[in-house]
Structure 1
Amino acid sequence: MEVLFEDDSIVVCYKPAGLATQTRNIGEKDMESELSNYLKAKGESPEIHVVHRLDQPVEGVMVFAKTKTAANNLTRQIAEHQFKKHYYAIITRESFPDEGDLVDYLVKDNRTNLSKVVSENDPRAKKASLRYHTVDEWDDRKLLDIELQTGRHHQIRIQLASRTAPILGDVKYGGVSTGHNLALCSYSIGFTHPTSGKPVEFQVKPKGEDFLDSKIAN
């Protein structure tokens, strides 16, 4: 964990791949407890509020609220699609179109913790949309820059996998095993600061090994 920005309302930080945002498993580290301990060690209130999540094997930038008021404000922004989220993902399908908009209807299977694409007419279905463009290519790999327009469970992972373009390392959805975490990074978030009301944006560079050969690593 690395703190990128902090004030009285929010903490913005980098979540490494492999660390859960929030877990119920006793004794297992997660971002919530790590940040709470960080604040406590500084002599501050350990109060921390989770307002959005990243899957455990995904790295990237996140914002947490330090007060209930800030948490309510950020949660409302997310619900109203005012949060801007951008991801990098590596796929291994050369013939995949260089840019496009993907729209699907998804259902989460709570037994397997996986999502699947279903018919728009399915009463359980939730609409999922994203926009992407290719920013780099090497060997059989394509690096996509993705603008997430909705925030569904495993959305990017299943939308790409359902088009036979699973993310590198995402074995849950048919990706090639690399021995690393899946090649997916939330590299940018933008929102309105809950106290100042000013627009803010925070970015990180991917640290995953599979990104090292791409031009964004330089």
Structure 2
Amino acid sequence: MDASDSQELAQDELFEHHRFVAAKGQEPLRVDKFLMNFIENATRNKIQQAAKQGHIWVNGTIVKQNYRVKAGDEVKVLFEHPPYEFLLTPEDIPLDIVFEDEILLVVNKPPGMVVHPGHGNYSGTLINALVYHFENLPKNSSERPGLVHRIDKDTSGLLVIAKTEAAMSHLAQQFFEKSSEREYIALVWGNVEEEQGTVEGHIGRNPKNRLQMMVFPEGNEGKEAVTHYRVLERFGYVTLVSCKLETGRTHQIRVHMKHIGHTLFNDERYGGDRILKGTTFTKYKQFVQNAFKILPRQALHAKTLGFEHPLTGKFMRFDSELPEDMVNCIQKWREYAKHHTE
């Protein structure tokens, strides 16, 4: 399954637009299946609704869901969002607040919680919780209340939230100027040879799989991205590492670590949900499958967050404990390494 050229994504209050050009090697495939392969959280029902509304076009002509996409076809689809007010419905969801004062707060996000509403995730998000607990949060350039930065749904850990316009501006500038501090803990496949290192490589969307990001080593596409890593503990077939970000690109750690041959453990999107290192023994395969069950997500936690307080000018650093699922998975590998690796 492949697609080339470009994807146009524009989000406003009511609509989400996508555009794909089928690659040269594209075998005939129903347009609904074609779209499901490339649009995150797009269920078949959502695509069928778009087809019924006449919102799927191939080469400029409206098509039904059973149209077969061929090489070179230009496919466009439009999804209707619920009204924007619905996206911001306050929901009484508990927040793990690490710190709070009159202008900002730091929250510890659990794994599985989406940060902001979007296609396929209209409720249960951090934003839904924030607008319930706090009134008149400032909106960022994407109209998302309080958000200065974000982390992936299945990544756990610390986020700073602005409560005033001035705090939003000040904190956003720190992230832009790379003066904020962000440390993540990750469990990755393979034995990371160097004790520490730096990954530098522009990150942009993968033209062959629009749900993935990738490194463009030549720097001709994507945006600059820099990740510093340090080995914390070795377990033979997997390694526990600390990653510090200079930049904050989408999926940065997941993409950079895969780029150097160390995909995050159980990172489904980037192939880490397969056995990438180890033996062929049945007992080992069962061990890894059990570890996947203990940690049913990518092994990534935003552990440390530091920034200058917008009012006091004092540098503040916050630290969070690893969540239980990561602790249990790491301990399982630690015990395995004692008995099965040199």
Given the two structures, how large is their TM-score scaled by the length of structure 2?
0.57
2:116 corresponds to 1:116: no
Aligned partners of 2:304, 2:224: CA distance in 1, in Å?
A: 23
Equivalent residue, structure 1, for 2:129: 34
Deviation at 1:121, TM superposition (A): 4.3
Equivalent residue, structure 1, for 2:157: 60
Paired residues of 1:183 and 1:208 also in contact (CA < 8 A):
no
Q: How many residues align?
A: 209
Structure 1's 208 and 116: CA in aligned 2 closer, same or farther, altered over 3 A? Answer: farther
Paired residues of 1:88 and 1:185 also in contact (CA < 8 A):
yes
Deviation at 1:2, TM superposition (A): 0.4
Aligned partners of 2:178, 2:191: CA distance in 1, in Å?
A: 32
Equivalent residue, structure 1, for 2:241: 144
Deviation at 1:29, TM superposition (A): 1.3
Aligned partners of 2:117, 2:193: CA distance in 1, in Å?
A: 35
Displaced runs of 4 or more, over 6 A = none
1:116-174 superposed Cα distances (whole Å, 9 cap, x missing partner): 1114241x331211111111123522110111111111110011112221001101111
Equivalent residue, structure 2, for 1:212: 328
Structure 1's 98 and 53: CA in aligned 2 closer, same or farther, altered over 3 A? Answer: same
2:258 corresponds to 1:161: yes
Q: Which structure: greater strand fraction? A: 1
Equivalent residue, structure 1, for 2:98: 4
Equivalent residue, structure 2, for 1:184: 300
Structure 1's 59 and 90: CA in aligned 2 closer, same or farther, altered over 3 A? Answer: same
Aligned partners of 1:173, 1:191: CA distance in 2, in Å?
A: 30
Paired residues of 2:109 and 2:156 also in contact (CA < 8 A):
yes
Output the aligned Cα RMSD. Answer: 1.9
Structure 1's 66 and 34: CA in aligned 2 closer, same or farther, altered over 3 A? Answer: same
1:51-83 superposed Cα distances (whole Å, 9 cap, x missing partner): 100011100011000111110110011111111
Equivalent residue, structure 2, for 1:132: 229
Deviation at 1:97, TM superposition (A): 2.6
Aligned partners of 2:150, 2:187: CA distance in 1, in Å?
A: 20
Q: Which structure: greater helix fraction? A: 2
Aligned partners of 2:272, 2:247: CA distance in 1, in Å?
A: 23
Paired residues of 2:192 and 2:262 also in contact (CA < 8 A):
no
Bigger RCO of structures 1 and 2 (CA < 8 A, at least 6 apart): 1
Task: Give, as a single letter, the amino acid of the residue that structure 2 aligns with 1:133.
Answer: R
Rg (Cα) greater in structure? 2
Paired residues of 1:119 and 1:125 also in contact (CA < 8 A):
no
What aligned pairs does 1:16-95 form with structure 2 within 5 A after superposition? 16-25=110-119, 27-39=122-134, 45-47=135-137, 48-95=145-192
Structure 1, gaps ≥5 residues long? 40-44
Given the two structures, how large is their TM-score scaled by the length of structure 1?
0.88
Structure 1's 3 and 21: CA in aligned 2 closer, same or farther, altered over 3 A? Answer: same
3-state SS in 2 of match to 1:29? coil
Aligned partners of 1:113, 1:128: CA distance in 2, in Å?
A: 18
